[in-house]
Amino acid sequence: MPSGSDTGQSRRGFLASTAVAAAAVAGGVPLLAACGGGSDTGKKDGTTTGKDAAKLLPAFVASTVVAPDIAPKNGSAAGFTRAIPSAELKASVAAKKGKGGALTVMAPFWGPPPASDNPYYQAMNEAIGVRATWQNQDGNVYDQKLGAVLASSEIPDVVVVPGWNLGGKIPSAINAKFEDLGPYLSGDKVKAYPNLAAIPTDAWQRSLFGGKLRGLPMPASYVTNIAPFYRKDLFDAKGWQLPKSADEFLALAKEITSAKAKVWACGDMTWTAYNMFGVLPGSDKALGWHLVDGKLVNRIETPAYLEALEWTRKLYDAGVVHPDEKTQNQGDTSLRFTAGQCLIYNNDLSHWYAKTSEQAAQNPAFAMAAMDIPGHAGGAPKLWATNPANIWAFVKKGSSKAVVEDALAIADFTAAPYGTKERMLTDYGVEGVHHTIKDGLPVKTDKGNQEVSSSWLFVASPAPYVAHPDTPEVTRAMVEWQQRMGAHTSKSSFYGMTITEPSQWTGLMNDFEQLEKDIVRGRKKVSDMQQAVSEWRTKGGDELRDWYRKLLDANGSAAS
């Protein structure tokens, strides 16, 4: 699995690591860790919304199988604070849907993949009624494998495509090489698959490619997943107050830094700066555009973007950022955080549970929390929604009805909600073989850690939820943080759309991320960014703006 470090990663690498971390924390890590387009490809670029999308999207039928302990609100995940005893687990799939067919599934995998015929895979296949053979590929170079496979004639029956791999020719290949699932799932047809019907509509909207419903989504909360974590145990002991503005953050950082004691206030805080200053998202090209006073503006053109970079640079200039962060590739920020060398860092919200669980035995006094993101001038922040799905599974074009239905049988099973027999088997394998029950909680055995694969979640997943019954207080804190941040979250003009940009403009933004890193670390000037933005406009940015504007005028906005 990729490192959780933020400082040396690209946005693409971070998205990969956090998606896998979220999947792993949901089910792949012990709860007691301390113990080419043809004529029928449809639209080759653009998107589908409004009335056209309404005809394609599956009906939504909320799941009532298990009620969460904390209901979702403001775009948050649902929360489950208790383990549900095995005897109380409910069935969400009334009857085995698979027809016994054989199919191949290609997905990214981080770490040594389990044997393809292991007892966990056998148990899943038996429960679903299929004979799935997994072709797990190295997640770190998955884009290369994906490109090669899609360019060939040997495409597996089901292929997982992460959003961070939607570059180059892959979007057009998706339109050309994968099946339209609309005849099986659009409208009321999805009701034959109750767990798929319970997937939020926003996630299905993101699954429209080339004017067709092609993807099976892994839904996510649209609330920002970047949380500024702090060492609550040390803050409480010292009486330090959480900052309520950008200026207060800098003042606090200076106060708590002691280079002589090898303690620095924070890691690189660029991503938190973007949230504090209200910068449009950079995790997806389309999300970075927004209609402002009648003009479509890109995130890099906004004053907030430059202000966020300038503020982050002040942190480096003040000497409050751990010195290893300046070179970007010097280890894992989260390790410096748990060691007490760095008191604040930002990363995916899933770190809250992962690090708390990890430190429970090593340092019982350890406590961390996520501070509420303040507005840069004080008051509430202006946050922007992220994508409601960013990983999909696709079925090979030309597949027989039987293969498509077997793929959907897998998806309906793996999209089962928490508290069901299907979810328990998917996340923990067979009781007595892959996990045991200790103090009411499922704990993976060594065999479970070796064999149980979170790759199944990539075929399809339920509506987002957080369930860590071994640390119910962390579960509640995570969900409530999302709810508070969600109350200040808006959706930009292309929220929820999967957009394929024309190929001549896909590389326009390639150099900006490195320039951002150079500016905050003092290697480049803010004026260099202004020059880069000017060049971006003349090299195609203005033309791209016009293209997006036509798209917006033709399709309308999915934002609210």
pLDDT (tens digit per residue) in 202-217: 999 999 998 999 999 9
Can you give the pLDDT at residue 6? 33
Query: What DSSP element (H or E) covers 406?
Result: helix 401-414
pLDDT digits (tens, 9 = 90+) for 225-243: 999 999 999 999 999 999 9
Quote the pTM value: 0.91
Q: What is the chain's Cα-based Rg?
A: 23
pLDDT over 60 at 560, yes or no: no
Listed in sequence order, the residues at least 6 apart from 492 whose beta carbon sits closer than 8 Å to its beta carbon are 280, 281, 287, 288, 289, 290, 384, 385, 559
Structure tokens at 496: 């929820």
pLDDT band for position 54 (cuts 50, 70, 90): confident
Q: For residue 27, with 0-12 CB atoms within 10 Å meaning exposed, 13-18 middle and 19 or more buried, which class applies?
A: buried
Domain 11-222+387-489: CATH superfamily, name plus number: Periplasmic binding protein-like II (3.40.190.10)
Bridge partners of residue 444, in order along the sequence: 435
**What is the pLDDT averaged over residues 270-288?**
96
Quote the mean pLDDT of the chain.
Answer: 91
Given this model, what pLDDT does residue 546 score? Answer: 98
H-helix or E-strand containing 159?
A: strand 158-162
SS3 232: helix
Q: What's the whole-number mean pLDDT along residues 81-104?
A: 95
Angstrom CA distances, 155 to 37, 106, 148, 182, 381, stand at: 15, 9, 10, 21, 46
How confident is the model at residue 30, as a pLDDT?
30
pLDDT value, residue 48: 58
Instruction: Flag the least confident range among 256-260, 330-334, 513-517.
Output: 330-334
pLDDT band for position 51 (cuts 50, 70, 90)? low
Q: Where do runs of H (alpha helix) occur along 487-538?
A: 512-520, 526-536
What value does the mean pLDDT take over residues 485-490? 99
**Mean pLDDT for the stretch of residues 367-393:** 98
At residue 335, does pLDDT exceed 70? Answer: yes
Domain-wise residue ranges, the chain: 11-222+387-489
Q: Which of 19-28, 49-58, 459-468 reaches the highest mean pLDDT? A: 459-468
Alpha helices per DSSP H over 467-525:
472-486, 512-520
